[in-house]
Amino acid sequence: MLLTIIAFLIILSVLVVVHEFGHFVSAKYFGVRVLEFGIGFPPRASLLHTSKDGVKWTLNWLPIGGFVNLKGQDGESKDHPDSFSHQAPWKRMVILVSGVFMNLILALVLFSVGYIVGFPRDLTDTKIPEKFIKEKYISILYVEPKGPAGRAGIKAGDSIITVNETPFSELEKLQSFISDKEGKPVLIQLRRGKEIFTKDLTPELVTFHIGNEAGDTESETKKIGVGVALGSVGIIRYPMHIALYKSAETIATTSGKIVTGFFHLIQDLVLTRSVSTNIGGPVMIAALSGRAAELGFIYIIQFVALLSLNLAIINILPLPALDGGRVLFVIIEKFKGKSVSINTETWVHLIGFWLLIFLTILVTARDLMRFEILEKVKGIFTS
């Protein structure tokens, strides 16, 4: 749990600080006065430095990101040339979207580094040229919680080295071997990150719960085995020029999925007043951060890149309290010829903010039950 908390705080802080640094650089470029650049959220823990231009660099007690405080960011001081609200609409839009731009750049860089160093990739239904595949192994893609593997603590992402001291390189042969051992213990050697360990498992008839795209249980299927879905995985490495292209391609395809997923989230909230089980909040991000840290450096790179891309796409959507919502008000001002009243814009963003907080609380409460966090915390104090 300690690893999970540390990984979560570091990853989240990096993402938010990079985002806010985008706002900072563009604001300084256009001559807007930056009052404070905070690491973490208030209350303030320490004033680290005050630069010559008056920017206060602060460290704050809540280590969950950061912020940039610009002069006139709430509409005041319009007659001051160094105020955000004094700037031309196009300049304000650039400042507002620069955080999103920085998150996109971070995602592009991290995906590119990953493709150069070597990303694990499911080879089952892909046609990747052999010259780019540097290593092949059989990996566990899914673990049925109530199956033998789930009960033994095996996790998705673990790779199988041997079964009964026999190495397997072909997926079909391994699946056939295990399915023929119903009721007979098998010794499975696995790798998780740099750790190698063994598990004694007895194949049995396992019920797999198959979900639909909304994350709800759609059907069940039964198979003899240890309760895992396997895949043939390879380490894919590209030269730099192809890695950049593949990174951009990944960002484009994944962005479409993020927007579609967010649309389905809103649709579910309006029509069914429910949230898909695929949607997670801070607790799920924390759990996945710890899992990525367990699996190794390349998984951290991939996870941070995906989170950075998510942060960019969600932030640019035209929703109140987000950067995209603020850009929308600037666009309205451009077409109307005058700005929306500060009071109206403030209330719209405030309502949007509290709606986001309410949604976060609902998702977090469900995640606490899903990951049994309260029981684990209770166990720490009672053990």
Mean pLDDT of 320-333: 90
> Is the per-residue pLDDT at 339 higher than 90?
no
Q: Which structural domains are found in the chain, ordered by start?
A: 2-33+71-117+249-382 (no CATH), 121-236 (2.30.42.10)
Does residue 30 contact residue 98 with C-beta atoms inside 8 Å? no
Which one, of 85, 106, 81, lies nearest residue 95 by Cα?
A: 85
Q: What is the pLDDT of residues 222-281, one digit of tens each?
A: 889 999 999 888 889 999 999 999 999 999 999 988 888 778 777 777 776 666 666 666
- Total Cβ atoms within 10 A of residue 167: 12
Residue 344 has pLDDT above 70, yes or no: yes
State the Cα–Cα distance between residues 341 and 348, nearest whole angstrom: 11
Amino acid letter, residue 235: I
Amino acid, res. 4: T
Quick one: pLDDT at residue 213? 43
Least confident piece of the model among 106-120, 280-294, 297-311: 280-294
Tell me how far apart the alpha carbons of residues 42 and 279 are, in angstroms, rounded to a whole number.
Answer: 28
pLDDT at 331 over 70: yes
- Render pLDDT for 188-198 as a digit per residue (tens, 0 to 9): 999 987 889 99
Q: Tell me: the pLDDT tens digits for 35-86?
A: 999 988 889 999 999 999 999 999 998 877 789 999 998 888 888 999 999 9
Strand segments (E) across 78-165: 119-122, 133-143, 159-163
* Mean pLDDT in residue range 311-321: 89
Q: What does the pLDDT look like over 19-28, one tens digit per residue?
A: 999 999 999 9
Q: What average pLDDT does the chain have?
A: 85
Q: What is the pLDDT of residues 147-188, one digit of tens each?
A: 999 999 999 889 999 999 999 878 889 989 998 998 999 999
